[in-house]
């Protein structure tokens, strides 16, 4: 059982520049844990101190956000593509009135 984990450019400094990784996993959580075990420096960019996934990281299996399918417990099948997607926002003013 292997999934392909797609690493966004912003996180590749932590994966030796690798764009994608083959990871054996049966759930999204297992895949992300395996990634963090292989590349420990990536942990603080993925998890809060509490162990929760950081709010600005979204994970997709194929084109489906795991928020709608049970989060890290979402099952993955052989050949699935798991993608880490950072949240992107900004704006001109410092103070939000």
The option from other proteins, Zn ion, none interacting with 50 (CB < 5 to 8 A, set by class) reads none
Is residue 90 a contact point for Zn ion (CB under 5 A)? yes
Minimum CB separation of residue 39 from other proteins in Å reads 15
Which residue from 38, 31, 48 is spatially nearest to 16, judged by alpha carbons? 38
Q: Where does residue 72 rank: exposed (0-12), middle (13-18), buried (19+ CB within 10 A)?
A: middle
Is residue 56 a contact point for other proteins (CB under 8 A)? yes
Neighbours of 59 (CB within 10 A): 23
Residues that bind Zn ion (CB under 5 A): 90, 92
Residues that bind other proteins (CB under 8 A): 6, 8-13, 19, 56, 58, 60, 63, 65, 83, 85-94, 96
């Amino acid at each position: 059982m292997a999934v392909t984990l797609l690493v966004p450019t912003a996180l590749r400094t932590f994966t030796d520049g690798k764009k994608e990784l083959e990871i054996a996993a049966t759930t999204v959580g297992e895949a992300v844990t395996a990634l963090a075990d292989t590349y420990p420096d990536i942990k603080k960019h993925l998890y809060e101190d509490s162990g929760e996934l950081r709010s600005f990281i979204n994970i997709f299996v194929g084109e489906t956000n795991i928020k709608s399918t049970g989060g890290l417990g979402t099952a993955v099948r052989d050949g699935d593509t798991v993608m880490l997607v950072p949240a992107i926002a900004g704006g001109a003013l410092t103070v939000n009135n």
